[in-house]
Amino acid sequence: MLKGKAIVLGISGGIAAYKAAALCSKLVQSGANVRVVMTESATKFITPLTLQTLSRHPVHLDTFHEYDPAVVSHIDLADSADLFIIAPATANILGKMAGGLADDMLSTTLLATTAQVLVAPAMNVHMYAHPAVERNMRLLAERGVLFVEPGTGQLACGYVGKGRLAEPEDIVHAAGQWFEQGQSLKGKKVVVTAGGTVERLDPVRYLTNDSSGKMGYAIAEAAASRGANVTLIAARTTAEAIGGVKLVKVESAEQMLQAVLEHYDDADLVVKAAAVADYRPVAAADKKIKKSDERLVLELVRTTDILQTIGQRKRGQFLVGFAAETDQVEHYAMDKLHRKHCDLIIANNVAEAGAGFNFDTNIVSVYGVEGLVESLPLMQKRQVADRLLEIIIQRMQAREAGE
């Protein structure tokens, strides 16, 4: 999986920097094109010449040392990377990354890259457990940075505990896994719905719900990162646009139904994360409704159930629905799964703190025909999306293999 991949290896100044030589060598042996960036502190532990010899490229040390006048080195490095690995990652570089600082070649290049960043921390056990370091790692994880956990054992300082740099083989394996994941939906067409639909009463008023669309957008982004051709059908949402994902904007439940049906037949995977209105006004006024009597009676009619409609039309698509509940979550989830012919239902109790609408986090349970598949604790929605995609892909692959 690493053959032909461009990997930038950042080395910061800890005693474990000597292991970066073995890591660099193994990456090159795996077929990767490795470019090395070292902090000044890192050069106190291992020489740039060693890394230059192993990588077969000049080692970048100084932001102002430009090797090629045709490019700006840190931007060129940042743009070229398929993956950015930092090993060892000291508490200092983690703090710079979390704070967005750029005062040397490594931190400047990190700030400029849009590539996936894979971090292998290494430091004293008490430093690793310090609240500031823990906070920085949580913040970086929320931004999508991946971590290779340090090992536990004898540290260079004499302490025994967690903080030892992961073995080079483990870091190479993690890199390979990330590239493999990036191909797991390659060639697949994925349709995701997100946001809350809007049912107009008049030109200035409407019925809707509290959905922010963030969960659906996270799933669309996670699917795209795995190589899928993603169409995101979105109603009202506060989530930000996603690069590389086809966005279809809709407003009402009827518009969403038509958009889903338009993209459904050739889809491999459909994830219905949108919160769709169950009812709409019988008629919407073409002018603003003025105040008159003390009471205003609205007549509503059922909207078409999108999930049930496409469930009845399944022709090999893998269908995933969402169930936002406030009680009897498992009962309603399993009922929905069977009635609407879903392969999986992702259910949550929106009354729980940190779950459901308008949060960046969620707490969900995954249900299949056999019942509960897995319960996920409070996690960032992008982390939830990644785990959900892992479960979905495993089941899609098993079905394709006839298991």
Catalytic residue among 71, 129, 157, 241: 157
SS (H, E, C) 273-308: CCECCCEEECCCCCCCCCCCCCCCCCCEEECCCHHH
Residue 194 has pLDDT above 70, yes or no: yes
Kindly state the percentage of the chain with pLDDT values over 70: 100
Residue 1 has pLDDT above 90, yes or no: no
- Whether the link from the prior residue into 88 is cis, omega within 30° of 0, is yes
Q: How far apart are CA 53 and CA 128, in angstroms?
A: 32
pTM value is 0.71
Structural tokens at position 214 = 């963030």
Nearest CA among 175, 141, 127 for reference residue 15: 127
Which residues have CB under 8 Å from 18's CB, separation 6+?
Answer: 45, 46
Which residues have CB under 8 Å from 7's CB, separation 6+?
Answer: 27, 32, 33, 34, 35, 81, 82, 83, 84, 85, 175
User: 91-99 and 105-112 are packed helices; what angle lies between their axes, rounded to 10 degrees?
Assistant: 40
Tell me the pLDDT band of 67, cut-offs 50, 70 and 90: confident
Q: Taking all residues of the chain, what is their mean pLDDT, rounded to a whole number?
A: 92
**For position 152, what pLDDT does the model report?**
78
**Higher per-residue confidence, 160 vs 320:** 320
Residue 155 has pLDDT above 80, yes or no: no
Tell me the pLDDT band of 29, cut-offs 50, 70 and 90: very high
Cα→Cα distances 15→164, 254, 319, Å: 10, 62, 50
- Residue whose pair of structure tokens reads 């509503």 in the numeric block: 300
User: 19-29 and 168-181 are packed helices; what angle lies between their axes, rounded to 10 degrees?
Assistant: 40
**Higher per-residue confidence, 248 vs 400:** 248
Residue 403 has pLDDT above 70, yes or no: no
pLDDT tens-digit map of 346-360:
999 888 887 777 788
Tell me the pLDDT band of 128, cut-offs 50, 70 and 90: very high
342 is catalytic: no
Q: How far apart are CA 303 and CA 316, in angstroms?
A: 26
Q: How confident is the model over 126-137, as a mean pLDDT?
A: 94
Q: How confident is the model over 310-332, as a mean pLDDT?
A: 94
The pair phi, psi for residue 396, each rounded to 5°, is: -65, -45
**For position 158, what pLDDT does the model report?**
77
Task: Give 69's DSSP letter.
Answer: T
Q: How confident is the model over 85-101, as a mean pLDDT?
A: 97
Q: How confident is the model over 65-84, as a mean pLDDT?
A: 87
278 assigned binding-site residue: yes
Structural tokens at position 32 = 């990767």
Q: Which run of H or of E encompasses 173? A: helix 168-181
Tell me the pLDDT band of 61, cut-offs 50, 70 and 90: very high
Contact between 333 and 345 under an 8 Å Cβ cutoff? The reply is: yes
Which residues have CB under 8 Å from 364's CB, separation 6+?
Answer: 346, 347, 348, 355, 375, 376, 384, 388
pLDDT tens-digit map of 264-318:
999 999 999 999 999 999 999 999 988 888 888 899 999 999 999 999 999 999 9
Interior angle at CA 301, CA 295 and CA 305, nearest 5: 140
Tell me the pLDDT band of 225, cut-offs 50, 70 and 90: confident
Q: How confident is the model over 104-114, as a mean pLDDT?
A: 95
Which residues have CB under 8 Å from 16's CB, separation 6+?
Answer: 87, 88, 122, 156, 164, 165
Pairing type for strands 361-368 and 371-380 reads antiparallel
Residue 4 has pLDDT above 90, yes or no: yes
Sketch out the chain's domains with CATH numbers.
6-181 (3.40.50.1950), 189-400 (3.40.50.10300)
322 assigned binding-site residue: yes
pLDDT tens-digit map of 163-183:
889 999 999 999 998 888 878
Structural tokens at position 290 = 């003025």
Cα→Cα distances 163→19, 138, 154, 159, 394, Å: 14, 16, 9, 10, 33
pLDDT tens-digit map of 196-224:
999 999 999 999 998 999 999 999 989 98
- Residue whose pair of structure tokens reads 């979905």 in the numeric block: 392
Tell me the pLDDT band of 373, cut-offs 50, 70 and 90: very high
336 assigned binding-site residue: yes
Residue 329 has pLDDT above 80, yes or no: yes
Contact between 192 and 219 under an 8 Å Cβ cutoff? The reply is: yes
